[in-house]
Structure 1
Amino acid sequence: MALHPDGFCGKMGETKERGRPMPVKRYQTKSRRALGDFFAAHPHTCFTARDIIREPSLELSEPSVYRLLAAMAEEGILERIAAQDGEGAAYRYLGDHHHGEGHFHLKCERCGQTVCADCDFMGEMEEHFAKEHGFALSAGNTVLYGTCQKCREKAKTE
């Protein structure tokens, strides 16, 4: 369930009342709200914890950044994607965008924009890699790097 961080999180907790799970209330601290607003303002861009720590518009401590990113990813507000260098992870705002297995991410190496590729032939690609190469892809964690159309057009004019 992806909600804007200002809203009540409907994630169900372990506590039960009359046999029903009770929602876990998430406190909306100033830091959490600021981080959520920052991600919502950049919905197609991935940020690492280091990017957030260095962001001048956010005055968040390093421990707070790591704690908030982990919590917001667990709650489905942010998506955790393996970083390009293989070290750590990058995070992207999900908003109301939910997706399951079988999609890839396309990330621009110039501007950092990340989009989901929910193309019909992606399943065929997965089958090909499994059958011909004996390799099972983790499609939800697969990031293909390249250059977006906007950056390609910008490069033509430079």
Structure 2
Amino acid sequence: MPYTTKQHQAILNCLSRRAEEALTAADLAEDLRRAGSPVGLATIYRQLEKLEKLGRIHKVSTEEGAFYQYCPHPAEGRDCFLLRCEACGRIVHLDCSHLRELYTHLETDHHFRIDPRRTVLTGLCGACAEKEAVHGNN
């Protein structure tokens, strides 16, 4: 098990507690400050980079900046990926084995290997799609 610091564990715990959300480094800094464990932004970014390399979190780069989300199953080879709603910006973490067929097809027939841990599919979440349908914007 790799050596972890108090800051590393505090950041991972914060992300884990808010696993349903994608957070910015500033969000994490604020949460940690409110919890009585202030951590500087430079340290947060360093720890986020380490956590991403370990497969503990997903990093999503958007027009608004980078967001980070806890990954409950960091083992490599898992078919986890993210869905990002283009309307509300919500990011949902999924673990779905059904994509394995698509990954295999792309690698075998098109000679392109997908990195499931860095895959982000964009579209509309159910709530935003429903709003759009009600307003006749489909």
The TM-score, its normalising length taken from structure 1, stands at: 0.58
State the SS of the aligned residue for 1:47. coil
Corresponding residue for residue 52 of structure 1: 27
Inter-CA distance 151–36: structure 2 relative to 1 (3 Å threshold): farther
Q: Deviations over 1:61-81 (max 9, x none)?
A: 3212212323444555x3133
Q: Does the aligned pair in 1 maintain the 2:71–2:93 contact within 8 Å?
A: no
CA distance in 1, matches of 2:117, 2:103: 11
Q: Deviations over 1:5-56 (max 9, x none)?
A: xxxxxx15xxxxxxxxxxx3x3325x852x344323321222343x437x64
Q: Deviations over 1:64-107 (max 9, x none)?
A: 2212323444555x31334245x985321134x34532523222
Matched residue count: 128
CA distance in 2, matches of 1:123, 1:90: 25
State the SS of the aligned residue for 2:16. helix
Corresponding residue for residue 105 of structure 1: 82
Following TM superposition, by how much is the alpha carbon of 1:116 offset from its aligned partner in structure 2, in angstroms? 1.4
Q: Does the aligned pair in 1 maintain the 2:54–2:74 contact within 8 Å?
A: no
Instruction: Indicate the RMSD between aligned Cα atoms, in angstroms.
Output: 3.4
Q: Pick one of 109, 122, 125 that aligns with 1:148.
A: 125
Q: Does the aligned pair in 1 maintain the 2:61–2:67 contact within 8 Å?
A: yes
The TM-score, its normalising length taken from structure 2, stands at: 0.64
Gaps of 5+ in 1: 1-10, 13-23
Corresponding residue for residue 65 of structure 1: 44
CA distance in 1, matches of 2:85, 2:75: 20
Gaps of 5+ in 2: 34-38
State the SS of the aligned residue for 2:20. coil
State the SS of the aligned residue for 1:107. strand
Larger Rg: 1
Inter-CA distance 36–128: structure 2 relative to 1 (3 Å threshold): closer
